[in-house]
Chain A
Amino acid sequence: MSSIVVNDLNIWFDDKQALRDISMTIPEKGITAIIGPSGCGKSTFIRSINRMNDLIPNCWIKGKVMVDGKDLYGPDVDVTEVRKRIGMVFQRPNPFPKSIYENIAYAPRIHGIKDRKQLNEIVERSLRRAALWDEVKDRLDRSAYELSGGQQQRLCIARALAIEPDIILFDEPCSALDPIATARIEDLLSDLKNEYTVVIVTHNMQQAARVADRTAFFYMGELVEFDDTSKLFERPDNELTEKYITGRMG
């Protein structure tokens, strides 16, 4: 588990500034939700936490993102190691075109684990943590594409857990799922928050209110308000936050 300290983070894509002077501390454990209208920079922010923005050409980053006191954008940082410690689950389930087993075993194998017994343990442990084991234990060799959308998303979560990250980032993990699958993911998030630092971007404010311990509201690339979720949804300090969460913005 790790805390994330963001200091004066600014991000540009070409000459367009996507994030402006973001400073916040995301404490270890628990769930932090990032909310805000489309284009406010919430996905850019979450992607900056595991250096996913590095993959975008003409992306410029200024400021610091510190995990356990170490700047992720420092000169001697191994990006692969960053992404090992900080896993990510995306909006649409994106399993590999492989078996359920291989989806989980793939990353640990890349990181040097070759022993079959050890891989079996990792696969079972990860699937259990993602609350998927009972549903797939008898068909681990079947294609991941045979799973439902909700199961595929939990498989992706299991895949992220397989490399034992400290932090897991979720970018709209339920936006493509039905309410039942969404509820299962939310239950899973509530379990994971005891062991991991979880950051979730969501358009669904009710979801943020249901699962998050803290919520940050972004607007036009700026962090407007960051507070305990109950406080932010009951009595926000900022008028913009109030307008957004009550649906009066637009």
Chain B
Amino acid sequence: MAPRSAYQGELTKLNKEVAMMGSLAQDMVSKGIKAFLNGDEVLIDEVVALDSEIYCQEQVIERHCFEIIALHQPVASDLRTVSSCLKVVTDLNRIGRYGCNIAQLGRGSGHPMDRHDSLSMMGEKALSMVRDAVDSFVKMDKVKAMALLDMDVEIDDMWESMFQLSLGCMIEQPQDISALANGILMARYLERIADHACNIAERTAFMVSGVRLHRSARKKMPRLNIETSTQRETSADGYYNARLDEK
């Protein structure tokens, strides 16, 4: 029998739990985007119902991590793995809840078709980043994780372009302001989802190598050259109250 087999079993179980939570977070984002873009009320309800499920999974993993720390005193790569799981579940919970937020934007709203494709494309991009982030974390694949960090710039550019475009549309089509504002919010949520995916990627790199990435090495900040960027942003999602050019 391999040494500390019970301990190894716990670490394997923890890895599976994170993989499962990652899969749920992806599901919530995927369905949230679909629900918003199609205005599908049934799907919206389904995604909203998953909110409590992802919270429960976060709690289970957090308790499991504490149990492993208390009972097995992990060190070195094991400690990095357990501490990384503790951090990553917060990102996954946020990703899932952004999926829920996106779905809720779809309640009773109409969507200007000219932006449907752009949002769909941005959604696919963000979703693929979450998929890669979870995959790299679960498989401890640092190379894949590092590649994700480069992709974050693309999402930031998409968000910036979507924001500028929507502002123009609001001036030209004031009757669509509500729907356009929802589109901006969705784009913003997708950009945040991508950021959380990058957090997971950063954590993966640390977990595998033990070296923390310097924040400045991660990405350049999104550029929003508009007057409002100097103002404090009102809390759009109830969790963040930062300038648009801050992360």
Say if A and B assemble together. Answer: yes
A residues apposed to B, CB below 8 Å: 205-206, 209, 233-236, 241-242, 245-250
Instruction: Check B3 against A249 for contact (C-beta < 8 Å).
Output: yes
Residue B4 at the A interface, CB < 8 A?
A: yes
Instruction: Check A250 against B3 for contact (C-beta < 8 Å).
Output: yes
With A and B bound together, what is the CA distance between A249 and B76 in angstroms? 14
Instruction: Check A234 against B3 for contact (C-beta < 8 Å).
Output: no
With A and B bound together, what is the CA distance between A247 and B78 in angstroms? 10
Residue B80 at the A interface, CB < 8 A?
A: yes
Q: A234-B75, A248-B2, A249-B3 known; 6 other A-B pairs, CB under 8 Å?
A: A233-B79, A234-B79, A236-B76, A242-B76, A242-B77, A246-B75
Residue B210 at the A interface, CB < 8 A?
A: yes
Residue B222 at the A interface, CB < 8 A?
A: no
With A and B bound together, what is the CA distance between A242 and B74 in angstroms? 11
Instruction: Check B80 against A248 for contact (C-beta < 8 Å).
Output: no
Instruction: Please encode chain B, from 4 to 43, with 1 for each CB lying within 8 Å of some chain A CB and 0 for all others.
Output: 1001000000000000000000000000000000000000
Q: Which residues of A contact B210 (CB under 8 A)?
A: 234-235
Interface residue tally for chain B (C-beta within 8 Å): 14
- Smallest CB-CB separation from B3: which chain A residue? A250
B109 to chain A, nearest CB (A): 49
With A and B bound together, what is the CA distance between A209 and B74 in angstroms? 12
Residue B178 at the A interface, CB < 8 A?
A: no
Residue B73 at the A interface, CB < 8 A?
A: yes
With A and B bound together, what is the CA distance between A234 and B77 in angstroms? 7
Q: Which residues of A contact B75 (CB under 8 A)?
A: 205, 209, 233-234, 245-246
For A205, A209, A247, A248, the residue with the greatest tally of chain B CB atoms inside 10 Å of its CB is A247
With A and B bound together, what is the CA distance between A235 and B77 in angstroms? 7
A41 to chain B, nearest CB (A): 21
Listed from nearest, the 9 A-B pairs whose CB atoms lie closest are A235-B210, A250-B3, A247-B4, A233-B75, A245-B75, A246-B78, A242-B76, A246-B76, A247-B3
Q: Which residues of A contact B211 (CB under 8 A)?
A: 235
Q: Which residues of B contact A236 (CB under 8 A)?
A: 76
**15 A/B residue pairs, CB under 8 Å, sorted by A:** A205-B75, A206-B73, A233-B75, A233-B76, A234-B210, A235-B80, A235-B210, A235-B211, A236-B76, A242-B76, A246-B75, A246-B77, A247-B7, A248-B2, A249-B3
Q: Which residues of A contact B77 (CB under 8 A)?
A: 242, 246
- Smallest CB-CB separation from A242: which chain B residue? B76
A27 to chain B, nearest CB (A): 24
Q: Which residues of B contact A245 (CB under 8 A)?
A: 75-76
B213 to chain A, nearest CB (A): 14
Instruction: Check A248 against B3 for contact (C-beta < 8 Å).
Output: yes
A152 to chain B, nearest CB (A): 28
Q: Which residues of B contact A205 (CB under 8 A)?
A: 75
With A and B bound together, what is the CA distance between A236 and B2 in angstroms? 22
A176 to chain B, nearest CB (A): 21
A227 to chain B, nearest CB (A): 12
Instruction: Check B80 against A234 for contact (C-beta < 8 Å).
Output: yes
- Smallest CB-CB separation from B210: which chain A residue? A235
Instruction: Please encode chain B, from 66 to 78, with 1 for each CB lying within 8 Å of some chain A CB and 0 for all others.
Output: 0000000111111
- Smallest CB-CB separation from A248: which chain B residue? B3
- Smallest CB-CB separation from A241: which chain B residue? B76
- The A-contacting residues of B in range 142-198, CB under 8 angstroms, are none
With A and B bound together, what is the CA distance between A228 and B77 in angstroms? 17
Instruction: Please encode chain B, from 209 to 229, with 1 for each CB lying within 8 Å of some chain A CB and 0 for all others.
Output: 011000000000000000000
- Smallest CB-CB separation from A235: which chain B residue? B210
Instruction: Please encode chain B, from 55 to 90, with 1 for each CB lying within 8 Å of some chain A CB and 0 for all others.
Output: 000000000000000000111111110000000000
For A205, A234, A236, A246, the residue with the greatest tally of chain B CB atoms inside 10 Å of its CB is A246
Q: Which residues of A contact B78 (CB under 8 A)?
A: 246
- Smallest CB-CB separation from B209: which chain A residue? A235
